[in-house]
């Protein structure tokens, strides 16, 4: 029995389908975000210029501040998309009870777990392999033709030792683990090689065999995680990437911790800022996000004056200045949501077919926004995720059913959302009886 080949799709259509699929699930798409972004040109331009500076060997950071619904997560995802397009490795982590701000080891572990390149996710193995491959390729390119394989292997090991010497200056244990990975990989001892990767990424419960082979004791802890992160940036550069861009999202959760833990986390930020300013983290870019309370409340950054002083801003009024340490996002408003909907129609047209723009008119979009907003206390900033999920459903029905008229058939029923609403959405939802 012959199996028919699936329909071949161009890259643009695949990206469009991915965008629509993600919005159906109420999540931020993994790619193509510039196609539905609105009102972020200034912020994107500033971040892009920072990344260009970092790609030339600098280090930089930015804090993104905004209420729920202002688009912090979207801007972060868009910034990392820009970074990957410029040849950066990226990582997006979320501060939580399992990854608290004061536990640098946990943060480093999540950075490694979420490493992503333009080609693949969970990319730590690919990055280290590319680093080693670059060393081998460099040697082969300068070796005389006909050089024996044994000679090349010896020369490669010496070259790798030279590369590891720079990492040893940061942390000898990291260098030992990478050395063990290289040798185990070459010898076909893949369980040892896999354990070496896990140890480099601060994974728990790494087997004793690897540690004995590498001559290591214990695991990565908070005291050495920072040096491991600097070593990781060296590896990223050696693998041919322009740098490492790290987003640290939802930092406001740190406010719920006890004072000692909270302030330890804030002092970690001071350490990172000072390292960047003195040139100790070349090729590294950080994005941090939080609500206004994180910056201004008594349990927030204001409680640690050295940190508050480093990232405080000059109030600009109507003329916002995203070049300052903080990018301040305004709340979403109706005009922006209408523009997103119109852009989404174009994306849908490439993913499936051209929507009927008479049925999906601008007038209908405005009416749909009003219907949903009414059920959420008039809060337009709360509804973008819900609106886009509903809007994709309307587009689907218009494509599937010629007789479906959303102007008559669409009515927002929030009951089906129960159980999937976020706490901020639930808090303002108007209950009907």
Residue 121 near residue 274 (C-beta atoms within 8 A):
no
What is the side-by-side strand order in the sheet with 284-290? 88-94, 243-249, 284-290, 60-65, 326-328
Ranges of H-type helices in 323-375 = 334-351, 362-374
What pLDDT does 200 receive?
Answer: 93
DSSP letter string over 16-65? HHHHHHHHHTTS--SS-GGGT--S-HHHHHHHHHHHHHHHTT--EEEEEE
Each of the 433 residues of the chain gets a pLDDT tens digit; together they read: 455 556 667 888 999 999 999 999 988 898 899 999 998 999 999 999 999 999 999 999 999 999 888 889 899 999 999 999 999 999 999 999 999 999 999 999 999 999 999 999 999 999 999 998 888 777 666 555 555 556 566 677 788 888 888 888 888 999 999 999 988 988 899 999 999 999 999 998 887 888 899 898 878 888 889 999 999 999 999 999 999 999 999 999 999 999 999 999 999 999 999 999 999 999 999 999 999 999 999 999 999 999 999 999 887 677 889 999 999 998 888 999 999 999 999 999 999 999 999 999 999 999 999 999 998 888 888 889 999 999 999 999 999 999 999 999 888 877 777 777 778 887 777 766 4
**Structural domains of the chain in order of their starting residue, each with its CATH number:** 40-117+241-328 (3.40.50.300), 125-224 (no CATH), 334-428 (no CATH)
Q: How many CB atoms lie within 10 A of CB 317?
A: 5
Q: Report residue 387 as tokens.
A: 């609106």
Q: How would you classify the pairing of strands 243-249 and 88-94?
A: parallel
Ranges of H-type helices in 116-171 = 124-142, 149-170
How much is the pTM?
Answer: 0.89
Q: Report residue 124 as tokens.
A: 């730590």
| CA dihedral (395, 396, 400, 406) positive or negative | negative
What pLDDT does 433 receive?
Answer: 47
For residue 353, count CB atoms less than 10 angstroms from its CB and return exposed for 0-12, middle for 13-18, buried for 19 or more.
exposed
């Amino acid at each position: 029995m012959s199996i028919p080949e699936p329909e071949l799709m161009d890259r643009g259509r695949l990206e469009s389908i991915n965008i629509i699929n993600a919005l159906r699930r109420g999540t931020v798409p993994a790619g193509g975000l510039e196609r539905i972004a609105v009102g972020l040109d200034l912020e994107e331009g500033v971040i892009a210029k920072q990344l260009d500076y970092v790609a030339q060997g600098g280090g930089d950071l930015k804090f993104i501040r905004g209420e729920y619904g202002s688009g912090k997560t979207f801007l972060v995802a868009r910034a990392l998309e820009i970074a990957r397009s410029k040849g950066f490795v990226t990582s997006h982590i979320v501060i939580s009870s399992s990854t608290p701000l004061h536990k640098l080891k946990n943060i480093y572990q999540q950075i490694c777990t979420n490493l992503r390149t333009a080609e693949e996710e969970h990319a730590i193995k690919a990055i280290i392999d590319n680093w080693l491959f670059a060393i081998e390729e460099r040697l082969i390119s300068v070796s005389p033709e006909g050089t024996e394989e044994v000679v090349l292997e010896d020369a490669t090991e010496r070259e790798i030792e030279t590369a590891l010497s720079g990492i040893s200056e940061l942390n000898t244990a990291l260098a030992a683990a990478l050395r063990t990975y290289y040798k185990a990989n070459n010898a076909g001892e893949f369980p040892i090689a896999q354990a070496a990767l896990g140890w480099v990424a601060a994974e728990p419960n790494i087997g004793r065999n690897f540690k004995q082979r590498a001559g290591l004791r214990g695991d990565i802890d908070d005291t050495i995680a920072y040096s491991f992160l600097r070593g990781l940036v060296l590896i990223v550069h050696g693998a041919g990437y322009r740098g490492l861009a790290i987003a640290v999202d939802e930092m406001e959760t740190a406010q719920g911790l006890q004072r000692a833990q909270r302030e330890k986390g804030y002092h970690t930020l001071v350490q990172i800022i000072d390292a960047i300013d003195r040139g100790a983290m070349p090729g590294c870019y950080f994005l941090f996000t939080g609500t206004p309370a994180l910056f201004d409340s008594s349990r927030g950054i204001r409680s640690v004056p050295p940190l508050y002083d480093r990232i405080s801003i000059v109030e600009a009024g109507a003329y916002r200045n995203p070049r300052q340490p903080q990018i301040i996002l305004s709340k979403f408003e109706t005009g922006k949501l209408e523009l997103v909907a119109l852009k989404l129609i174009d994306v849908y047209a490439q993913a499936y077919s051209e929507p009927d723009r008479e049925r999906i008119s601008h007038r209908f979009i405005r009416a749909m926004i009003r219907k949903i907003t009414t059920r959420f206390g008039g809060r337009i900033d709360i509804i973008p995720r819900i609106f886009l999920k509903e809007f994709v459903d309307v587009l689907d029905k218009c494509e599937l059913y010629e007789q479906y008229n959303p102007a008559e058939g669409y009515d927002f029923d929030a009951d089906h959302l129960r159980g999937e609403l976020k706490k901020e959405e639930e808090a303002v939802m108007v209950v009907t009886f």
